[in-house]
Amino acid sequence: MDQHAMLTVLAIASVLSSVLILVALFLLWSKSQSSWLLLALLGEGVSLLFRFALAVAPAVLGAIPMMPLIWSITGLLVAAGLLGFALEVSKRQA
């Protein structure tokens, strides 16, 4: 497999994994209506936009100096949302 084909497969896998996470978060949110899951959905949605843009036009994102910082913040939003939801659920069950 040449390098271009491998990068294409990696880009598709990256976008697909983000879509699957979004679907899972949405299904959880539809049952619980938790604001924590909305936070995680927002973070993952923005992350998906970055992944898609990186797959379509990598040079454009490379020209944005704040992109790595913003992308990292989206990961923190997802993590904080999932942690908040986990704490919320564990308090309900206690």
In this structure, the number of other CB atoms found within 10 A of the CB of residue 85 comes to: 21
CA–CA separation, 36 and 49 (whole Å): 20
State pLDDT tens for residues 33-92.
999 999 999 999 999 988 888 778 778 777 888 888 888 999 999 999 999 999 999 998
Q: Which amino acid is at 31?
A: K
Question: What are the residue ranges spanned by the domains of the chain?
Answer: 3-93
pTM of the model: 0.84
